[in-house]
Amino acid sequence: MSALLLNLEPGDEVIMPSFTFVSTANAFVLRGAVPVFVDIRPDTLNIDEKLIEAAITSRTRAICVVHYAGVACAMDEILAVAERHGLTVIEDAAQAIFSSYKGRRLGGIGALAALSFHETKNVISGEGGALLVNDPCLEERAEIIREKGTNRSKFFRGQVDKYTWVDVGSSYLPGEIIAAFLAAQLEQGEAITRTRLSLWDTYHAWAEPYEVGGVVRRPVVPVECTHNAHMYYLLLPSLEARMRFIESMREAGVGTVFHYIPLHSSPAGQRFGRTSGGMEITDSVSGRLVRLPLYVGLEDQQEAVIDAASLALDSLQVEFG
């Protein structure tokens, strides 16, 4: 919907990280736009704001930032670059509901933002999401695009006496059952976030000695960011260390996963996008990151997960520490 609202045309460029889920790029590729991938910061794993300006060309239309793990990108710097070059900032806030940056909620900073309510996120409806429209100039058309390109919303409010097809659009509204499920989740949003933060803090305190020992690097949350405990990850010393960690967790009955295959090295990323500058951090991090289980309901089992992870890291420490 953001891509439609911006009237992107074939050949237009959108700057984004390569270290993200495919949906960040797909939205724009579907309009014929070219994702231009920029490397990430080694601390937050968010797009490196210092590399954005060098990626701008005469075709650049937007910067799509991703608040990885619910930790904010450097929005002040990014908004300033966008303003200097007349670009729109879109926030992929899929992971970032209830997070904030200098007191401002993520998803409320760029002209447009998207939340995800996919079952893997903090607040869920199975499948689903929300477009947040922060630029009032885009509101009216967003409503039309959401309603199959019709002005039906105006009709419901009694502003027109019949509704008709006025623009492009599709069927973006959730059904009643999904909306009801989501409403209940949103009512529990604060409690969900509190529980997740407590699980996150427990992992973070447990992992500290391993970081001091040099065998892992823990997530970094800058002081200006308040996060939502979307994810707890560890960075291991190498791809091989990660394979051994995951295998050892599996033997203890704990499933752990990693991500992302960088978009710039995936077949579709190579076909539809291009890189700007090197991708060293993206490539390095994507081979070494592992996620620990984190969901409401884990409370009683977290100790067992930590025991298994301690065992796995102790044996890695002998080699890598």
Ligand X SMILES: *Cc1c(COP(=O)(O)O)cnc(C)c1O
Closer residue to ligand X, CB minimum distance, 8 or 45:
45
Closer residue to ligand X, CB minimum distance, 82 or 94:
94
Report in angstroms how near the CB of residue 97 gets to ligand X at its nearest: 11
Q: Is 154 an annotated catalytic residue?
A: no
Closer residue to ligand X, CB minimum distance, 20 or 275:
20
DSSP letter for 60, please.
E
Closer residue to ligand X, CB minimum distance, 95 or 275:
95
Strand, coil or helix: what is 89?
strand
Single-letter amino acid code for the residue at 272: F
Residue for token digits 């968010």? Answer: 46
Q: Compute and round to an integer the Cα radius of gyration of the chain.
A: 21
Strand, coil or helix: what is 182?
helix
Using CB under 6 A, list all residues that contact ligand X.
Answer: 20-21, 23-24, 66, 92, 94-95, 116, 118, 129
Q: How far apart are CA 289 and CA 235, in angstroms?
A: 5
Report in angstroms how near the CB of residue 35 gets to ligand X at its nearest: 13
Residue 101 region, left (φ>0) first, then alpha (ψ -120 to 50), else beta? Answer: beta
Q: How far apart are CA 50 and CA 258, in angstroms?
A: 27
Q: How far apart are CA 111 and CA 136, in angstroms?
A: 9
Report in angstroms how near the CB of residue 24 gets to ligand X at its nearest: 5
Closer residue to ligand X, CB minimum distance, 107 or 129:
129
Instruction: Tell me the pairing of strands 289-292 and 60-66.
Output: unpaired
Instruction: Tell me the pairing of strands 60-66 and 88-92.
Output: parallel
Report in angstroms how near the CB of residue 177 gets to ligand X at its nearest: 17
Strand, coil or helix: what is 61?
strand
Single-letter amino acid code for the residue at 165: W
Single-letter amino acid code for the residue at 252: A
Report in angstroms how near the CB of residue 315 gets to ligand X at its nearest: 31
Catalytic residue from among 121, 148, 154, 162: 121
Question: Cα dihedral angle (189, 200, 128, 114), rounded to 10 degrees?
Answer: 90
Report in angstroms how near the CB of residue 94 gets to ligand X at its nearest: 3
Q: How far apart are CA 286 and CA 278, in angstroms?
A: 14
Stated as kind and residue range, the H or E segment containing 289 is strand 289-292
Closer residue to ligand X, CB minimum distance, 13 or 92:
92
Report in angstroms how near the CB of residue 221 gets to ligand X at its nearest: 17
Q: Output phi, psi for 153, to 5 deg.
A: -60, -40
Closer residue to ligand X, CB minimum distance, 118 or 154:
118
Which distant-in-sequence residues (6+ apart) come within 8 Å of 183 by Cβ? Answer: none
Residues annotated as catalytic (active site), given as ranges:
121
